[in-house]
């Protein structure tokens, strides 16, 4: 079960082209494509006629999508505009069209009742396309329920163990954590003061500010329903005030996480890591993209291991520790939407 | 569910040898083999003793099949003739023997009540071994229900889209189609008059008759229950009368399709393409065989896409358009047999 | 269903190291590892906290196992000794610890009620580590129910057909067989007198005793519940009395078979072949190990074929012939334990 009447990130905008793209979202097979005028379209990925996958078809010059099997054509509203074998298509010939919106470099698809569509509900991941922030991300498919990925990102103490060679830090689990729920979002705030930073951050602040000493580090995790997470992360020269202080004395980034259920056991994960330092350096952008993907692939192994354990059955109870207050709040919020 | 008390093509005759061959037909595991005297045999592919697959065994000099596990031997009627560890086999020791007949280059197996067996019901695919016709075909396993393959062949307008580079023609979907049901078979007739023929036919008529102009093209599809289809296809010099006219002014072939359910989601497909032109040319035979297999592999991708969509669940209704009259008639005929 | 309150061989002792090893036994996911003091431990392979697989974690210097996800630490009794994010672990924080014992080169795990644990019930495969016997075995995973492997080993007439080129002998199925049940074990005894021995034995007795003539051959199979089998096998100069006679006039080995259900369709198979001849020859040990593994891989193909046939459904009855008296007795014994 998935939250209904919600926007889900279906793809990076750049991946929706005139080559149809098949995606399954909340168990629904959907074809995404872009019309010649630039408009992106989401239709049910099954021809009205004989259930052939429209994603195997092609986009015509007029922007309609042609079924690969018998050539029926559908416009962006899902209405059948042509049946090659007869003069007029039947009036009821149509496939479901999904409300679609592009924002913050993602293509969002509305799952639920189309009459309830509301663009104000699109998760506000504005860092992803704001000029102050630079970064290139990626797309992963993970064989786990989407809630396990939400859990993963709502408690970053796992970095110490799963990502010990890059962003993990022994001091992370012990740092005090503040969890709050406000305006329908969950916020988890953690600051590690005055410490020798983890390898990733040590390199970044050295490079950006030629600084090699102790730092204050922060992680401010924000859960945005139904399943997006934006994380304000950074380090600054120790004692300069942390996230509320002189951020210009440090380096800052946002981890953008758009999490979309494929089905109960698979999740589409669109991620980015956008930074406000060394923004003109394309080589650094590519380098960080590669390193962050490596970090996320470590999470994939863990998440799929969890899912396999749960699929095996038996005792699969989850325990909520103090560090899991953010997880618990996000899960409660998801549950109220289902 | 599958039509019972029917003959199904289980293999090409040439593929049934003294090496046992495992086939699953209508959900039943069957082993096929040929005895030294040339007689082909079909037995249940599970030893009476411990369920070992007899198809892993070997054919003895006396024509019996020896179980690979403990060496029990079964004759062509499925009767156990030897248990190596004891003097006499138990009287009830036997495996099911399936009525089998070889005709038109195929090995046919009777699925249903053996007491009802009737060789007159073997689908009459006589073009497959008639001296007037020459061709070599193949065997494909397709991950779809057998009815989807029947659908595919009963409406050839899909050629325009699935096979656009070989036998497809823009004029196909619009050509008038006559569907009739007679003598327990379905017939679908379509003629495309006076047009520039599709690449495949253009090359064949040019080669056979040194003719390069417009043609009349015909497709006469014949559904023979439970699931065979013979298609009379050809092109002739435009205006010479089409299928009822001067066929010697053209080139003609039969597409032979023996469709056998493996189980609800898999189908065994034995096909051939036999022609009445350039019959002595073995190189042409091999060349056409290869090209036609390429055409059918395009269908495989589509059929398996349909099956996946239907397996996913949700709305899987099939719509019957005017072009689907042949499909509808064939499906009705299949349904009455189940 | 599996016999409960039983010891199952989970691994070769040498394979349990400070690198955690994941094993599934009777459907239960278990992690095995060895502490720095040499003690082997078996815990449930799911963290108490969020179900992460502990087998992806690491063994700490103090012998505790650290969860790979959030760093919780568990001691050999399964008690959580540390939660990095808080001062004290919750008192109820623990994972199930399985009683474990090492004997005869295997690590045994008790499946069932830990209060009922009884080391006297460990199957007595003492040949596996007795100085009189030498050999190195292996570990196989077979996609079949464990009872099919028990069947396989309780009736060795299959050697004639499955292993015809190595240890099979045409005279095996016809040789008289004595089956007895005593002290909660099943014994099957078969002697083939005065014959030209099978290739494997011919080579071994020639090498050990420079003897090339006829032999008496014996197989004495012993089923030890819940699912271990020890087989006393050998050949001696014909007429010297067989297994009860002058064994020094021959060569003798024990086939050690520890059979552990993974789940209903998969089995862990730990095997060895220990001999009392040419014991100092490591090259011969390696050579025999390789040949015997080849023999067992022939069984794997057959067993997985049986399982597939049974999974397909339909008629899957097993028949018990006279040679199957040992199988029948072992199956009855297993059934009383389930």
Give the rounded percent of residues in chain A with a pLDDT score beyond 90: 91
Partner-chain contact C308 B71, CB within 8 Å:
no
Q: Which of B46, B53, B85 sits opposite C157 (nearest CB)?
A: B85
* pLDDT band for position A165 (cuts 50, 70, 90): confident
Residues sharing a CB contact under 8 Å with residue B4, sequence separation 6 or more, in sequence order: B26, B111, B112, B113, B337, B338
- Contacting C with CB below 8 Å, chain A residues are 151, 155, 157-158, 160-162, 173-174, 301-302, 305-306, 308-310, 312, 314-316, 318-319, 321-323
Three-state SS at A122? coil
Q: Give the range among A122-126, B187-191, B315-319, C331-335 with minimum mean pLDDT.
A: B315-319
User: Which tokens in the block code for residue B76?
Assistant: 């062509």
For residue range C62-93, what is the model confidence (pLDDT) as tens digits? 999 999 999 999 999 999 999 998 999 999 99
Q: How far C85 CA lies from chain A's nearest CA (Å)?
A: 4
**Could you give the C-alpha distances from A183 to A110, A223, A228, A333, in angstroms and in order?**
21, 11, 15, 12
CB A205 within 8 A of CB A197: yes
Judging contacts by C-beta atoms under 8 Å, the chain B residues touching residue C159 are: none
Report d(CA B41, CA B57) in Å as an integer. Answer: 14
Residue of C2, C55, C57, C70 to mutate, interface with A, max A Cβ within 10 Å: C70
For residue range C313-332, what is the model confidence (pLDDT) as tens digits? 877 788 999 889 999 999 99
Judging contacts by C-beta atoms under 8 Å, the chain A residues touching residue C90 are: 321
**Could you give the C-alpha distances from C183 to B248, C73, C190, C225, in angstroms and in order?**
87, 44, 20, 11
The length of chain B, given as a count of residues: 338
Touching partners of B (3+ C-beta pairs < 8 Å): A, C
Is the pLDDT at B199 greater than 80? The verdict is yes
- Contacting A with CB below 8 Å, chain C residues are 24, 27-29, 45-46, 48-53, 56, 66-71, 83-86, 90, 93
Report d(CA A219, CA A234) in Å as an integer. Answer: 7
Partner-chain contact B322 A53, CB within 8 Å:
no
- The residue among A92, A87, A36, A86 whose CA lies nearest residue A64 is A36
Partner-chain contact C174 B85, CB within 8 Å:
yes
- Chains B and C form CB pairs within 8 A to the count of 71
Residue of A149, A312, A325 to mutate, interface with C, max C Cβ within 10 Å: A312
**CATH architecture of the region B126-337:** Alpha-Beta Complex (3.90)
Partner-chain contact C312 B29, CB within 8 Å:
yes
E strands, C157-312, are 177-182, 185-195, 215-224, 228-237, 250-263, 266-275
Judging contacts by C-beta atoms under 8 Å, the chain B residues touching residue A45 are: 309
Mean pLDDT score, A288-309: 95
**Could you give the C-alpha distances from A52 to A263, B263, B308, in angstroms and in order?**
21, 21, 9
Partner-chain contact B174 A84, CB within 8 Å:
yes
Kindly report the backbone phi and psi dihedral angles of residue C144, in degrees, each rounded to the nearest multiple of 5, phi listed first: -155, 160
B38 burial type by CB count under 10 A (0-12 exposed, 13-18 middle, 19+ buried): exposed
Partner-chain contact B173 A70, CB within 8 Å:
yes
Between vectors from CA C243 to CA C238 and to CA C249, what angle results, nearest 5°? 50
B149 burial type by CB count under 10 A (0-12 exposed, 13-18 middle, 19+ buried): buried
User: Which tokens in the block code for residue C120?
Assistant: 């006297």
Q: Which of A27, A51, A83 sits opposite B321 (nearest CB)?
A: A83
Report d(CA B42, CA B33) in Å as an integer. Answer: 7
- The residue among B96, B81, B106 whose CA lies nearest residue B44 is B96
Partner-chain contact B53 C160, CB within 8 Å:
no
Inter-helix orientation angle C282-311/C146-154, to 10°? 120
User: Which tokens in the block code for residue A6?
Assistant: 């919600």
Judging contacts by C-beta atoms under 8 Å, the chain C residues touching residue B69 are: 158, 161-162, 302, 306
pLDDT at B317: 85
Mean pLDDT score, A141-154: 98
DSSP labels, A110-121: EES-GGG--GGG
Partner-chain contact C51 A312, CB within 8 Å:
no
* pLDDT band for position A259 (cuts 50, 70, 90): very high
pLDDT at B73: 98
Report d(CA C8, CA C42) in Å as an integer. Answer: 12
- Contacting A with CB below 8 Å, chain B residues are 151, 155, 157-158, 160-162, 173-174, 301-302, 305-306, 308-310, 312, 314-316, 318-319, 321-323
Report d(CA C138, CA A326) in Å as an integer. Answer: 48
pLDDT at A314: 76
- Contacting C with CB below 8 Å, chain B residues are 24, 27-29, 45-46, 48-53, 56, 66-71, 83-86, 90, 93
Mean pLDDT score, C247-257: 96
pLDDT at B322: 87
Partner-chain contact B322 A71, CB within 8 Å:
no
- Contacting B with CB below 8 Å, chain A residues are 24, 27-29, 45-46, 48-53, 56, 66-71, 83-86, 90, 93
Kindly report the backbone phi and psi dihedral angles of residue C313, in degrees, each rounded to the nearest multiple of 5, phi listed first: 85, -160
First-to-last alpha carbon distance for chain A, in angstroms, is: 7
Partner-chain contact A322 C93, CB within 8 Å:
no
Three-state SS at B200? helix
**CATH architecture of the region A131-337:** Alpha-Beta Complex (3.90)
Residue of B69, B74, B78 to mutate, interface with C, max C Cβ within 10 Å: B69
* pLDDT band for position C220 (cuts 50, 70, 90): very high
User: Which tokens in the block code for residue B62?
Assistant: 């006396």
Report d(CA B11, CA B106) in Å as an integer. Answer: 6
DSSP state of C157: G
Partner-chain contact C29 A312, CB within 8 Å:
yes
Partner-chain contact C48 A319, CB within 8 Å:
yes
- The residue among A243, A252, A245, A257 whose CA lies nearest residue A279 is A252
Is the pLDDT at A17 greater than 80? The verdict is yes
Residues sharing a CB contact under 8 Å with residue A56, sequence separation 6 or more, in sequence order: A20, A68, B301, B302, B305
For residue range A73-120, what is the model confidence (pLDDT) as tens digits? 999 999 999 999 899 999 999 999 999 999 999 999 999 999 999 999
Residue of A23, A72, A84 to mutate, interface with B, max B Cβ within 10 Å: A84
Partner-chain contact A29 B305, CB within 8 Å:
no
CB under 8 A, 24+ apart: contacts of C329-336: C329/C179, C329/C181, C329/C186, C329/C223, C330/C150, C330/C151, C330/C154, C330/C186, C330/C223, C331/C147, C331/C150, C331/C151, C333/C181, C333/C184, C333/C186, C333/C223, C333/C225, C334/C3, C334/C147, C334/C150, C334/C225, C334/C226, C334/C227
CB A106 within 8 A of CB A265: no
Report d(CA B323, CA A103) in Å as an integer. Answer: 43
For residue range B217-276, what is the model confidence (pLDDT) as tens digits? 999 999 999 999 999 999 999 999 989 999 999 999 999 999 999 999 999 999 999 999
CB B238 within 8 A of CB B194: yes
Residues sharing a CB contact under 8 Å with residue B87, sequence separation 6 or more, in sequence order: none
CB C153 within 8 A of CB C164: no
Partner-chain contact C85 A174, CB within 8 Å:
yes
* pLDDT band for position B165 (cuts 50, 70, 90): confident
Mean pLDDT score, A271-290: 96
CA nearest B308 in A: which residue?
A53
How many CA atoms are closer than 13 Å to the CA of C45, on its beta-carbon side? 24
Report d(CA C143, CA C299) in Å as an integer. Answer: 11
Residue of A71, A74, A83, A90 to mutate, interface with B, max B Cβ within 10 Å: A71
For residue range B104-121, what is the model confidence (pLDDT) as tens digits? 999 999 999 999 999 999
**CATH 2.102.10.10 domain span(s) along chain B:** 6-121
CB A81 within 8 A of CB A67: no
Report d(CA C318, CA B49) in Å as an integer. Answer: 6
Dihedral (Cα; A33, A39, A40, A44), 10-degree rounding = -80
CA nearest A321 in C: which residue?
C49
* pLDDT band for position C165 (cuts 50, 70, 90): confident
Compute the mean pLDDT over every residue in chain C, rounded to the nearest whole number: 95
Judging contacts by C-beta atoms under 8 Å, the chain A residues touching residue B314 are: 27-29
Q: Which of C45, C53, C70 sits opposite A158 (nearest CB)?
A: C70
Q: How far is CA A114 from the centre of its chain?
A: 22
Inter-helix orientation angle B325-337/B146-154, to 10°? 150
Q: How far B269 CA lies from chain A's nearest CA (Å)?
A: 19
pLDDT at A315: 73
**CATH 3.90.380.10 domain span(s) along chain A:** 131-337
DSSP state of C98: P
Report d(CA C118, CA B323) in Å as an integer. Answer: 75
Report d(CA C190, CA B26) in Å as an integer. Answer: 43
Mean pLDDT score, A280-300: 96
CA nearest C172 in B: which residue?
B85
Kindly report the backbone phi and psi dihedral angles of residue B215, in degrees, each rounded to the nearest multiple of 5, phi listed first: -135, 160
Judging contacts by C-beta atoms under 8 Å, the chain A residues touching residue B309 are: 29, 45-46, 51-53
Report d(CA C281, CA A314) in Å as an integer. Answer: 48
Partner-chain contact A310 C93, CB within 8 Å:
no
Residues sharing a CB contact under 8 Å with residue C298, sequence separation 6 or more, in sequence order: C162, C163
Residue of A155, A161, A176 to mutate, interface with C, max C Cβ within 10 Å: A161
Residue of A31, A85, A94, A96 to mutate, interface with B, max B Cβ within 10 Å: A85
**Could you give the C-alpha distances from B25 to A53, B40, B60, in angstroms and in order?**
28, 16, 25
Report d(CA C177, CA B272) in Å as an integer. Answer: 55
DSSP state of A155: -
Report d(CA B145, CA B260) in Å as an integer. Answer: 10
Judging contacts by C-beta atoms under 8 Å, the chain A residues touching residue C50 are: 151, 306, 318-319
The length of chain A, given as a count of residues: 338
First-to-last alpha carbon distance for chain B, in angstroms, is: 7
Topology at the third CATH level for domain B6-121: Rieske Iron-sulfur Protein (2.102.10)
Which residue is listed with tokens 């779809």? B144
pLDDT at C315: 73
Partner-chain contact A158 C27, CB within 8 Å:
no
């Amino acid at each position: 079960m998935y939250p209904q009447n919600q926007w889900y990130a279906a793809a990076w905008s750049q991946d929706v082209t005139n080559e149809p793209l098949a995606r399954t979202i909340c168990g629904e097979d959907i074809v995404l494509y872009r019309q010649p005028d630039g408009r992106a379209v989401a239709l049910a990925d099954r021809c009205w006629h004989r259930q052939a996958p429209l994603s195997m078809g092609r986009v015509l010059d007029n922007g309609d999508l042609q079924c690969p099997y018998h050539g029926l054509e559908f416009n962006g509203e899902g209405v059948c505009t042509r049946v090659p074998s007869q003069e007029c298509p039947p009036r009821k010939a149509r496939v479901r069209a999904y409300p679609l919106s592009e924002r913050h470099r993602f293509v969002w698809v509305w799952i639920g009742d189309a009459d309830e569509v509301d663009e104000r509900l699109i998760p506000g991941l504005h860092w992803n396309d704001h000029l102050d922030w630079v970064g290139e991300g990626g797309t992963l498919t993970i064989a786990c329920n989407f809630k396990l990925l939400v859990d993963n990102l709502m408690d970053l103490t796992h970095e110490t163990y799963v990502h010990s060679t890059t962003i993990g830090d022994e001091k992370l689990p012990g740092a005090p954590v503040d969890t709050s729920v406000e305006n329908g979002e969950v916020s988890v705030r953690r600051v590690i003061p005055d410490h020798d930073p983890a390898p990733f951050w040590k390199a970044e602040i050295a490079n950006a500010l030629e600084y090699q000493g102790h730092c204050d580090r922060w992680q401010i995790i924000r859960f945005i329903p139904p399943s997006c997470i934006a994380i304000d992360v950074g380090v600054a020269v120790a004692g300069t005030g942390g996230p509320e202080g002189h951020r210009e004395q440090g380096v800052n980034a946002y981890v953008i996480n758009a999490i979309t259920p494929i089905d109960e056991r698979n999740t589409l994960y669109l991620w980015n890591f956008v930074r406000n330092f060394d923004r003109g350096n394309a080589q650094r952008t590519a380098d960080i993209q590669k390193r962050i993907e490596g970090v996320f692939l470590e999470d994939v192994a863990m998440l799929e291991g969890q899912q396999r354990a749960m699929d095996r059955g038996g005792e699969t109870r989850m325990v909520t520790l103090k560090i899991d207050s953010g997880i618990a709040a996000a899960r409660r919020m998801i549950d109220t939407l289902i």
